[in-house]
C-alpha cells in the first residue's frame, strides 16, 4: 500500500512541478550529475571557524555560502562556484541563523525564529531585508533559542504531499536552561521548525526521539517522508536517523546507523551535511562527516573533545538512506564541521555538488573551505548501475 501511494505521489508531483513553471524544479536526468569525473580546486572563503550557515543554490543557480559562528556575512558565486564575490553583511545582529531557499517564492532566507527574526533576499544574497517572525513552542513549552538553528544543514521547502510548500529547518533544544554546559547536554534534543505561511510563524516539532542530540540535517524523500540525520553527544560513534510521515512534526523509528558521527572512538560527534539530489523519483542522498579512527572518549560523558578531527568524507546512498555503499575522501587533513549543497538544472551550477567545511593543513578550525565535484567523481570508477536501476 505504501509503495502504491509513493508511486502515485511521485507522479502527481512531477506533473505539479511542471505546472508550477519552475518551482520545485528537478534535474531531468541523473546524467546531469555524471559525465567525466570533475573535482574543482579547493578554495578558501574565510579564515578561522565558520561555514555553519551552510551553502545553497537559489533558482537562478547562484551559489550562496554563509559564514558562522557569527553568521553575519555571506558570499555568492554566479558562475557555479568558480569565483566568489565579496562578503555581504546580512546584519550585525544576524547571528546563529540557518539558511533555506523558499522554493515557492524563489527567495533566500536566513532565519532564527527562536530569536524572532528572519532576513529575506530576493537577489541571491546581494541584499537583505529584516522581518519579524514568531516561534511557537513544542509540548514541553520550549523553542529553539539563541543557537537553536545554528550549526545545521540548511533547511528545505517540502515538494511532495499535503504539506508541499512548507518551510522546514532542523533545530535543537538546549534543555530547559538553554545551556550548552556539560551537565545540561543530556537534556538536549534535536527538533525541527516549520512554517506554512512563508516564514511568519514557525511551529516547533515534536522532539527527535533520542536525548543528547543536536546539530542535524534533514532531507525529503520522493515519497514525502522526511529523513532526519542527527549528531549525538552521549554514546560512541554513529549518527542517529529518524523519520517523519507528517511533514516534519512527529519523528519516529530512531535508529543508530552505520555512518560515523565525527571521530570514531569518541562519544563527541560532529556536525555533518545531508542532501537529496533533485532527481524526480530517485532517492540519491549524500552525507558528509569525518572518517577516522583517531578519537578518544572524553573524560566526562557528554564533554567536548576535538582530538583527531580529520579526513572530511562524503558518502552516497541510492535507496533513501538504507545503505551507504559509496564514500570518497575529500580532504585528507584536519577538518571539522561540514555542509552540502547541490546545483540547479539549466544554470552554471548544473550537475555540481558542493561541500563547505572547516579545515586546513595545520588544524581543523583553520579556515572555511569549499569544493565542488560531480557524482562521477564520487563514484570513483564504480558503475552507477550496480546501485541504481537506470532502465526506468
In a domain, 358, yes or no: yes
In a domain, 391, yes or no: no
Q: Over the chain, what is the mean pLDDT?
A: 91
| Integer Cα distance of 304 and 309 in angstroms | 12
In a domain, 161, yes or no: yes
Q: Which helix (H) or strand (E) holds 354?
A: strand 353-359
In a domain, 84, yes or no: yes
In a domain, 114, yes or no: yes
Residue with cell 560515523: 260
In a domain, 392, yes or no: no
Report the pLDDT value the prediction gives residue 5, as an integer from 0 to 100: 38
In a domain, 344, yes or no: yes
* pLDDT over threshold 50, residue 105: yes
How far is CA 253 from each of CA 82, 108, 210, 225, 246, rounded to the nearest angstrom? 41, 32, 10, 12, 14
Task: Quickly state the pLDDT bin for 69 (edges 50, 70, 90).
Answer: low
Report the pLDDT value the prediction gives residue 72, as an integer from 0 to 100: 83
| Integer Cα distance of 255 and 230 in angstroms | 10
As for how many domains the chain has, the answer is: 1
Report the pLDDT value the prediction gives residue 8, as an integer from 0 to 100: 38
Q: How do residues 167-199 score in pLDDT, each as one tens digit? A: 999 999 999 999 999 999 999 999 999 999 999
| Cα angle value 337/340/342 (rounded, 5°) | 165
Report the pLDDT value the prediction gives residue 27, as an integer from 0 to 100: 65
Q: Whole domain around residue 382: which residue ranges?
A: 2-386
The enclosing domain of 116 has a CATH number of 2.120.10.10
Amino acid at each position: 500500500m505504501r509503495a502504491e501511494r509513493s508511486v502515485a505521489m511521485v507522479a502527481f508531483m512531477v506533473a505539479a512541478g511542471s505546472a508550477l513553471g519552475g518551482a520545485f524544479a528537478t534535474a531531468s536526468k541523473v546524467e546531469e550529475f555524471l559525465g567525466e569525473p570533475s573535482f574543482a580546486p579547493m578554495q578558501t572563503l574565510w579564515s578561522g571557524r565558520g561555514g555553519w550557515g551552510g551553502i545553497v543554490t537559489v533558482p537562478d543557480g547562484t551559489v550562496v555560502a554563509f559564514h558562522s559562528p557569527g553568521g553575519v556575512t555571506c558570499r555568492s558565486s554566479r558562475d557555479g562556484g568558480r569565483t566568489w564575490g565579496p562578503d555581504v553583511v546580512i546584519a550585525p545582529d544576524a547571528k546563529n541563523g540557518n539558511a533555506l531557499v523558499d522554493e515557492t517564492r524563489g527567495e533566500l532566507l536566513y532565519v532564527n525564529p527562536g530569536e524572532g527574526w528572519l532576513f529575506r533576499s530576493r537577489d541571491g544574497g546581494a541584499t537583505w531585508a529584516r522581518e519579524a517572525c514568531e516561534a511557537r513552542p513544542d509540548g514541553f513549552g520550549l523553542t529553539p533559542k539563541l543557537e537553536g538553528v545554528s550549526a545545521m544543514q540548511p533547511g528545505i521547502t517540502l515538494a511532495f504531499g499535503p504539506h508541499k510548500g512548507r518551510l522546514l529547518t532542523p533545530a535543537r533544544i538546549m534543555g530547559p536552561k538553554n545551556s550548552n554546559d556539560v551537565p545540561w547536554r543530556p537534556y538536549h534534543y534535536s527538533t525541527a521548525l516549520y512554517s506554512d505561511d512563508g516564514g511568519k510563524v514557525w511551529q516547533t516539532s515534536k522532539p527527535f526521539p533520542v536525548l543528547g542530540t543536536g546539530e542535524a540535517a534533514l532531507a525529503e524523500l520522493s515519497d514525502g517522508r522526511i529523513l532526519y540525520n542527527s549528531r549525538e553527544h552521549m554514546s560512541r560513534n554513529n549518527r542517529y536517523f529518524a523519520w517523519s510521515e507528517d511533514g516534519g512534526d512527529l519523528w519516529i523509528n530512531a535508529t543508530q546507523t552505520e555512518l560515523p558521527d565525527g571521530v570514531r572512538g569518541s562519544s563527541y560527534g560532529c556536525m555533518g551535511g545531508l542532501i537529496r539530489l533533485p532527481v524526480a523519483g530517485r532517492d540519491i542522498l549524500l552525507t558528509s562527516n569525518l572518517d577516522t579512527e583517531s578519537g578518544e572518549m572524553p573524560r566526562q560523558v557528554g564533554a567536548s573533545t576535538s582530538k583527531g578531527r580529520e579526513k572530511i568524507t562524503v558518502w552516497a546512498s541510492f535507496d533513501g538512506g538504507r545503505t551507504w555503499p559509496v564514500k570518497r575522501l575529500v580532504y585528507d587533513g584536519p577538518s571539522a564541521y561540514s555542509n552540502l549543497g547541490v546545483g540547479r538544472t539549466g544554470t552554471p551550477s548544473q550537475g555540481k555538488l558542493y561541500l563547505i567545511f572547516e579545515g586546513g593543513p595545520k588544524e581543523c578550525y583553520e579556515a572555511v573551505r569549499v569544493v565542488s565535484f560531480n557524482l562521477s567523481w564520487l563514484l570513483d570508477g564504480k558503475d552507477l548501475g550496480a546501485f541504481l536501476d537506470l532502465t526506468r
